[in-house]
């Protein structure tokens, strides 16, 4: 208890210096935590994917569409339980800043996503209305949408003004489920294209294939691709996780850069904290020598110095962790079009604590060594 009081008093001997150091560590921990959360978010789609869902797309590129006639052929492949199709629509709501994912999907698409929780009445209303649409809870909350509202999207890939009626608002079954997506009927899109741009009708971007068991995924994927081999539109079928990871691979350099920056932030604050502790140690050389003359051993002196460094670093770390949650909530609320889910995980909190401990330990090593090894005669010369 005596040494704890001594550590606290030494820490507050220069309140402004200590508070600035604590603030610096806190800001570094906030930045580190948010950057680590951003990296985890990059892989969220892959981690939350289902092992019983496959994605079939063009073998050339995702931008090339597939004939809708493939749907019935894929359904006949053994062990396939369901086949749905979807098109990226890319519509704009009022202005470009209101970006959110919007898809034209088949009627059974939502059946393959049980994590999108929708009431029976809403699902029935959606299926009975050709212009019906379903939106995520966060998306509806952001724009103030209610059931029955008319929503107009301006087409980019598919030109024109497209009117929809909101028939359902889904909730995610888990906290990490994306609640910012917008779905409407593929049939509505296709019927309109038949009248306006016939050459683009009866085509879809991807097929979503359901299988009975995860271990059947590889065999089913091979069977689907073999069925369309040497055709005019060959396919590539892969698990939903592999499909999501393909997008991550396109931006892998960005992910690596973010990871590097997160560690650089910690290294910078480590240097700052080490400089502060070294300055503190230089100022107290005579005090350490006096303590030695009074019978305090190297362990006691080293414990006081090292404890002060840990106290400052951990205080900043705990403040930084506490402030990370409101910062993440603000990002999720205000930047939901870019970060639909921005949750700070327990693993990130542990990394924040570990980073704070590392900063405190590294910053305290040299001052502790200096205080422990100082000779009494050299220290006492500084008195007066």
DSSP H helices, 43-177, are 44-47, 70-75, 120-128, 137-143
- What is the number of alpha carbons within 13 Å of residue 191 lying toward its C-beta? 8
Cα-Cα end-to-end distance for the chain: 31
* pTM of the model as a whole: 0.77
State the average pLDDT over residues 18-34: 87
Beta bridge partners of 207: 56, 85
> Please, which pLDDT band fits residue 19 given cuts at 50, 70 and 90?
confident
pLDDT score, position 6: 65
CB atoms within 10 A of CB 90: 15
Q: Rounded to whole angstroms, what are the CA distances from 138 to 122, 123, 163, 332?
A: 17, 18, 21, 10
Burial state string for 231-241 with b = 16 or more CB within 10 A and e = fewer than 16:
eeeebbbbbbb
Residue-wise pLDDT for 30-71, tens only, equals 998 888 888 887 777 667 778 889 999 999 988 899 999 999
Distance CA 58, CA 96 (A): 28
pLDDT in tens, 237-251: 999 888 888 777 777
Q: Kindly give the pairing relationship between strand 203-204 and strand 116-117.
A: unpaired
Contact yes or no for 43/247 (Cβ under 8 A) = no
Q: Which of 80-89, 101-110, 208-217, 283-292 has the lowest mean pLDDT?
A: 283-292
pLDDT in tens, 73-102: 999 999 999 999 999 998 999 888 888 999
Query: 181: which 2 tokens?
Result: 């997506």
Cα 7 to the center of its chain, rounded Å? 39
- Pairing label, strands 160-172, 116-117: antiparallel
Which residues lie across from 238 on neighbouring strands? 55
| Total length of the chain | 384
Q: How confident is the model at residue 285 (pLDDT cuts 50, 70, 90)?
A: low
Cβ contacts of residue 359 below 8 Å, gap of 6+?
A: 25, 28, 266, 269, 270, 273, 313, 317
Query: Could you give the percent of the chain with pLDDT greater than 90?
Result: 39
Question: How far apart (Å, rounded) are the C-alpha atoms in residues 155 and 168?
Answer: 21
The mean-pLDDT minimum among 15-29, 78-92, 329-343, 363-377 falls in 363-377
Q: Is pLDDT of 156 > 60?
A: yes
Sign, CA dihedral 361-365-366-368, equals positive
Provide the 10 A C-beta neighbour count for residue 314: 17
Give the lowest-confidence range in 15-24, 64-73, 362-371: 362-371
Only one residue has tokens 């019983």, namely 52
Contact between 208 and 134 under an 8 Å Cβ cutoff? The reply is no
């Amino acid at each position: 208890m005596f040494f704890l009081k001594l550590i606290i008093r030494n820490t507050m001997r220069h309140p402004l210096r200590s508070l600035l150091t604590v603030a610096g560590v806190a800001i570094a921990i906030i930045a580190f935590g948010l950057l680590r959360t951003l990296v985890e978010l990059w892989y969220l789609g892959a981690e939350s994917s289902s092992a019983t869902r496959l994605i079939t797309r063009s073998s050339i590129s995702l931008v090339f569409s597939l004939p809708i006639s493939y749907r019935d052929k894929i359904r006949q492949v053994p062990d396939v339980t369901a086949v749905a199709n979807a098109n990226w629509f890319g519509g704009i709501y009022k202005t470009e800043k209101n970006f959110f994912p919007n898809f034209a999907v088949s009627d059974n698409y939502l059946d393959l996503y049980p994590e999108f929780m929708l009431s029976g009445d809403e699902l029935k209303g959606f299926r009975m209305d050709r212009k019906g649409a379903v939106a995520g809870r966060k998306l509806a909350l952001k724009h103030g949408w209610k059931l029955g509202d008319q929503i107009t999207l301006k087409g980019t890939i598919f030109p024109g003004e497209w009117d929809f009626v909101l028939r359902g608002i889904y909730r995610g079954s888990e906290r990490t489920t994306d609640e910012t997506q917008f779905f409407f009927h593929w049939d509505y899109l296709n019927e309109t294209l038949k009248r306006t741009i016939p050459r683009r009708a009866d085509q879809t971007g991807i097929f979503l294939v359901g299988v009975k068991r995860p271990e059947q995924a590889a065999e089913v994927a091979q069977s689907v691709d073999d069925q369309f081999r040497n055709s005019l539109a060959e396919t590539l079928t892969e698990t939903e996780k592999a499909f999501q990871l393909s997008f991550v691979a396109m931006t892998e350099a960005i992910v690596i850069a973010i990871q590097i920056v997160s560690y650089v932030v910690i290294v910078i604050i480590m240097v700052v904290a080490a400089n502060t502790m070294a300055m503190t140690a230089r100022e107290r050389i005579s005090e350490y020598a006096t303590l030695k003359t009074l019978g305090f051993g190297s362990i006691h002196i080293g414990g006081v110095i090292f404890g002060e460094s840990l106290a400052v670093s951990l205080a900043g770390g705990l403040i930084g962790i506490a402030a990370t949650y409101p910062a993440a909530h603000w990002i999720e609320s205000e930047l939901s079009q870019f970060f639909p889910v921005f949750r700070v995980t327990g693993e990130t909190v542990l990394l924040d604590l570990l980073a704070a401990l590392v900063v405190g330990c590294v910053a305290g090593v040299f001052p502790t060594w200096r205080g422990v090894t100082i000779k009494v005669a050299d220290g006492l010369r500084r008195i007066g």
